Amino acid sequence: MKYCFYILALNLTLVQGDSVKEDKIKNLTKIQFDVTQNCGTETPFDNEFWNHKEDGLYVDIISGVPLFCSIHKYDSGSGWPSFYELINKDDFTFKEDYNLGYKRIEVRSKKANSHLGHVFDDGPGPKGLRYCINSASLKFIPLKDLKSKGYEDYLYLFEKK
């Protein structure tokens, strides 16, 4: 009987998680939906965060998982937000993408399974990576709001600045 309870509890948790994700997806704008669910791409230089300079976290628009930190953001000249570092590689999945006729590496949010953008090997720093990310896949949490929004565990990232 004990095992049945655990299985039931697990199933309820999964269903509740799916319904929360479905609610978030229903509330996306047209461009947010196209980018995250259909692997769309925003227009360069005409998106919310390409030239954004405020300190804070960029989180998954659907799951709220912190993905990128402003201290790792730089101007790549591409017209999209570009980062040279991930907060936690375990929060991402990567897959080969040949949609444009050549190989690219797609970057996806692991928890929400959302398309974020692509990673290229022409970035700065020791790893030489450029995570070219669509603004529509992100929500920005300003540094001053991290604690009140439940992201206080990430304040340490800004101590290095």
Distance CA 73, CA 93 (A): 20
In percent, the amount of the chain with pLDDT more than 90 equals: 81
Tens-place pLDDT, residues 12-50? 334 345 766 888 999 999 999 999 999 999 999 999 999
Question: Does position 7 have pLDDT exceeding 50, yes or no?
Answer: no
Question: Does position 68 have pLDDT exceeding 80, yes or no?
Answer: yes
Q: What is the mean pLDDT of the chain?
A: 90
Structural domains of the chain in order of their starting residue, each with its CATH number: 2-158 (2.170.150.20)
Mean pLDDT computed over 68-95:
98
Q: What's the angle, vertex CA 70, arms to CA 112 and CA 61, rounded to 5?
A: 20
- Report the C-alpha dihedral over residues 13, 109, 149, 88, rounded to 10 degrees: 110
Give the residue numbers marked as catalytic: 132
pLDDT for 21: 81
